[in-house]
């Protein structure tokens, strides 16, 4: 997934470095740059495999990134599996990575994990490789404007330029007869956690319970990050809008 890109990039960079010394030197620089790039990739992969804590942190960030547009898409799952094969994770390491990925989908402490990864990984080229891999996987499926903005924020927390999020072209959204797969189809009842037949006190109780679970003040009191509080605000607003549509049934 990564080798061809970094090999070509290494060859071109070395050719540009050698350009002032003449055409033949530039041509010789192409294979040298490609070889150095392949060597660095192998070193990055070896370092990643030898660091279980780093693996878990990265896959948590990856899970969070893939969920930014609402749901993880099949293309993203395939990209994650391909990336795990590329770096040759063992079966036990793959299972640990999957667990971390699923934990990351919940969005808990994602900004903190990204900041800690920045602290643990001092080598900028290694961080760049991880960040670019993150962007490649996340943007294997369509990302909304809001999701791309959050992805750029994650990269900044990792100590990388936010422009890296734009280094991979955003694929077009899929359109189906039922619904676009990048959006979660929600009804007032699913948001409140009840069936459409719910009425009266049951509906009121469901509304209060749903609001209590995601109230921004509660998240803030629990020490939630600014991103978590913002997500809670969005969920609270969605629940309030759902309640406005069905509250006449609770009377």
Residue 129, C-beta contacts closer than 8 angstroms, at least 6 positions apart? 2, 6, 41, 44
- Reading the block at residue 122, the tokens are 């001092």
Sign of CA dihedral 22, 24, 29, 30: positive
Q: Please report the pLDDT score of residue 15 as a whole number.
A: 60
Question: CA 52, CA 58: separation in Å to the nearest integer?
Answer: 10
Task: Write down the pLDDT at residue 3.
Answer: 53
Higher pLDDT, 15 or 102: 102
Among 41-55, 106-120, 202-216, 234-248, name the one with the lowest average pLDDT: 41-55
Residues 10, 31 contacting (CB under 8 angstroms): no
Q: What distance in Å separates the CA atoms of residue 216 and residue 248, rounded to the nearest whole number?
A: 26
pLDDT in tens, 49-80: 778 888 888 999 999 999 888 888 999 999 88
CA count, 13 A, side-chain hemisphere, 2? 26
For 82-116, what is each residue's pLDDT tens digit? Answer: 888 877 777 778 888 888 898 888 877 888 888 88
Using alpha carbons only, give the angle 174, 180, 185 rounded to the nearest 5 degrees: 165
- Domain spans, the chain: 3-48, 51-166, 188-250
pLDDT band at 139 (very low <50, low <70, confident <90, very high): very high
- When pLDDT is averaged across residues 156-171 and rounded to a whole number, the result is 88
Task: Give the model's pLDDT for residue 180.
Answer: 44
Q: For residues 107-135, give the mean pLDDT.
A: 84
Q: How confident is the model at residue 9 (pLDDT cuts 50, 70, 90)?
A: low
Q: What percent of the chain has pLDDT over 70?
A: 77
**Between 166 and 185, whose confidence is greater?**
166
Mean pLDDT of 128-144: 88
Q: Write the CATH number of the domain with boundaries 188-250.
A: 1.10.287
């Amino acid at each position: 997934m990564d080798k061809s890109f970094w090999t070509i990039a290494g060859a071109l960079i070395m050719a540009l470095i050698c350009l002032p010394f003449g055409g033949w030197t530039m041509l010789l620089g192409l294979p040298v740059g490609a070889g150095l790039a392949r060597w660095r990739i192998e070193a990055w992969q070896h370092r990643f495999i030898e660091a279980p804590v780093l693996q878990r942190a990265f896959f948590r960030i990856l899970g969070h990134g893939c969920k930014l547009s609402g749901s993880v898409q099949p293309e993203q799952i395939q990209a994650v599996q391909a990336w795990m094969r590329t770096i040759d994770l063992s079966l036990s390491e793959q299972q640990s990575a999957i667990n971390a990925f699923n934990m990351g989908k919940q969005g808990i402490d994602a900004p903190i994990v990204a900041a800690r990864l920045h602290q643990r990984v001092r080598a900028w080229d290694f961080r760049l490789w991880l960040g670019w891999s993150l962007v490649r996987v996340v943007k294997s499926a369509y990302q909304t404007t809001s999701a791309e903005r959050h992805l750029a924020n994650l990269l900044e927390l990792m100590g990388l330029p936010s422009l890296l999020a734009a280094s991979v072209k955003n694929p077009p959204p899929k359109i189906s007869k039922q619904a676009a797969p990048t959006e979660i189809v929600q009804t007032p009842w699913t948001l409140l956690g009840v069936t459409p037949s719910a009425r009266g006190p049951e509906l009121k109780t469901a509304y209060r319970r749903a609001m209590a679970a995601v109230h921004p003040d509660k998240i803030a009191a629990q020490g939630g990050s600014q991103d978590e509080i913002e997500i809670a605000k969005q969920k609270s607003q969605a629940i309030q809008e759902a309640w406005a549509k069905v509250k006449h049934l609770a009377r």
